[in-house]
Amino acid sequence: MKQPSSSPSGAPLETRATLDPADWDEFRALGHTMLDDMVDFMSTIRERPVWQSPSAEARAALSAPLPRAGADPREAYATFQKAIQPFPTGNIHPRFWGWVMGNGTPVGFLADMLGSALNCHVSGYDQAAALVEHEVLRWLAELMDYPKDASGLLVSGGTMANLVGLTVARNHAGGSTLRRDGLRPEAGGALTVYGSTATHSWVGRCCDLLGLGGKAFRTVAVDARHRVRVDELAAAIRADRGRGLQPFCIIANAGTVACGVCSARRFSSLDSSGKSGGGRGGRGSSTGA
């Protein structure tokens, strides 16, 4: 289709419609500066404190009124340098021991830049980004000894990953009509899910989001080594079955948040009636990280 060469107001389209930088050479120079600055930032991180609270000036700079016009990227970068860069979470510092967040790697930030530059939509299509997702999933499946045809999704974080896992388990347990009719506890009993008291709080949120209700999550006591008490787990499942509820998922922890404990291997040998067996069972529908 022939493109109009000017907008209805008469201004040339290129100057009104493009998101390109006004000057590619300036853009390149700014990019090089940013790259050098961030490599300096990372390579000297040990010389700075792990964390500091954002200053009053930073807070003021980050509560500006809504801008009605675009800003020069150099100004935006100056704000970043003054108000953002000095006050991060701290998790990439080698002395950050406050919480479990990962720190990434220097090459990861370069990879983020490459990914952002291509900015692919990865819902499918005949393109390399989708092939990369499939390749990574295949590698993960192989690492975890999953079947070759196991599928998956790369998502934005732990809660999203567990939400997807719990959804798969819920849909499996709810039968073929669940996705059409929604949850119908009156039909087969309310769905219940089990995990140790050391399970991360994602599970309550996900039960809420999936319409199971927070009380669908049954917490099971841990032993002296913070591992789930398999006997209590089996008893809780049996009791819920006796009440007409429908246990559908056991959450196995591979490294709890508080102290990195893994669920006992024996855990995987619970059968669907809640009896604890001796051998190694199937994978079941366990999620967790």
Ligand X SMILES: Cc1ncc(COP(=O)(O)O)c(C=O)c1O
Q: How far apart are CA 185 and CA 243, in angstroms?
A: 13
Of 129, 183, 257, 262, the residue at the interface with ligand X (CB under 6 A) is 257
Q: How far apart are CA 169 and CA 153, in angstroms?
A: 15
The least distance separating ligand X from the CB of residue 162, rounded to whole angstroms, comes to: 5
141 binds ligand X (CB under 6 A): no
The stretch among 110-118, 132-140, 157-165, 180-188 that binds ligand X (CB under 6 A) is 157-165
Buried b / exposed e over 12-42, threshold 16 CB at 10 Å, is eeeeeeeeeeeeeeeeeebeeeeeeeeeebe
Please choose, from the candidates 202, 117, 112, 219, the residue with its C-alpha nearest in 3D space to the C-alpha of residue 166: 202
The least distance separating ligand X from the CB of residue 47, rounded to whole angstroms, comes to: 28
Strand 246-250 to 191-196 pairing: parallel
Of 79, 85, 91, 159, the residue at the interface with ligand X (CB under 6 A) is 159
Residues 80-109 that bind ligand X (CB under 6 A): 100
The stretch among 48-56, 79-87, 88-96, 156-164 that binds ligand X (CB under 6 A) is 156-164
166 binds ligand X (CB under 6 A): no
Token pair belonging to 58: 């930073």
The least distance separating ligand X from the CB of residue 214, rounded to whole angstroms, comes to: 16
Contact present, 86 and 52 (Cβ < 8 Å): yes
286 binds ligand X (CB under 6 A): no
Give the footprint of ligand X on this chain (CB under 6 A).
100, 157-159, 162, 200, 202, 257, 288-289
